[in-house]
Homo-oligomer: A and B are copies of this chain.
């Protein structure tokens, strides 16, 4: 049996980061507040997980003003998409393995 466990990405082990990525993969751009609501977590917690994904360059941040309000949106980077897809492939193989 090949060891697909090694191919799982540590960055996506946490459920919240898994959630962030799965949302960003199917939405071009998502706001901080939207993510916060979807995931139902505290803003601090979200910020720290996003920061982790930003640091490894899986997620891009865009800060702007919409009207008078600050607005932060996130997108997944090319590297992030690749890494996430590889993670899903590894997951799939791991779980379908029947040696």
Contact = CB atoms under 8 A, between A and B. Distances in A.
Interface of A: 1, 3, 5-6, 8, 10, 13-16, 18-19, 22-23, 26, 38-40, 88, 91, 94-95, 97-98
20 contacts: A1-B23, A3-B38, A3-B40, A5-B15, A5-B16, A5-B18, A5-B39, A8-B18, A13-B13, A13-B14, A13-B15, A18-B94, A19-B94, A22-B94, A22-B97, A23-B97, A26-B97, A26-B98, A88-B95, A91-B91
A84 to B, nearest CB: 9
A26 B93 CA distance: 13
A38 B3 CA distance: 7
